[in-house]
Amino acid sequence: MHNQYFEITEIHGVTATRFLLPPDWAVFNAAAAEVRAHFPGEIKLWDCSCGLALSAEELRAIADNSKRVDTQTLKVAIVAPEDEVYGLARMFSVHRAQEHLQLQVFRDRDAAFQWLDSIADST
């Protein structure tokens, strides 16, 4: 799936969402809804290399909503090469923490895929 804001692809069992512009609240939630509806796999990559247009409060709300909606076991990698986005992604990972979730933040897309591959191989 591809639109002007994000693209979602399936790459070797990984649902990869890449934002084309820094996502705001509406765009992030639209992408999450598309992933849930059309890509039910448990291994996901969210590429925020272009930045984020979300406040810390919005990230916390998204994390809280994800806790309620995503009840299956998930393995998630977030790509955030820029310092500000990396910090926000780390904050999101703290708010999103759950027993059935393995979530890591990476500065590099290749490192994120390598981690996801190693997680997939161990299951």
Q: What is the pLDDT of residues 48-96, one digit of tens each?
A: 999 999 999 999 999 999 888 887 878 999 999 999 999 999 999 999 9
Q: Give the CATH number of the domain where residue 50 resides.
A: 3.30.750.24
Asked whether residue 49 is domain-assigned, the answer is yes
Number of domains making up the chain:
1
3-state secondary structure of 82: coil
What mean pLDDT is predicted for residues 16-34? 96
What mean pLDDT is predicted for residues 83-111? 94
State the pTM of this model. Answer: 0.92
Asked whether residue 97 is domain-assigned, the answer is yes
Are the C-beta atoms of residues 46 and 59 closer than 8 Å to each other?
no
Q: What is the pLDDT of residues 7-19, one digit of tens each?
A: 999 998 899 999 9
Domain containing 58: what range?
6-122
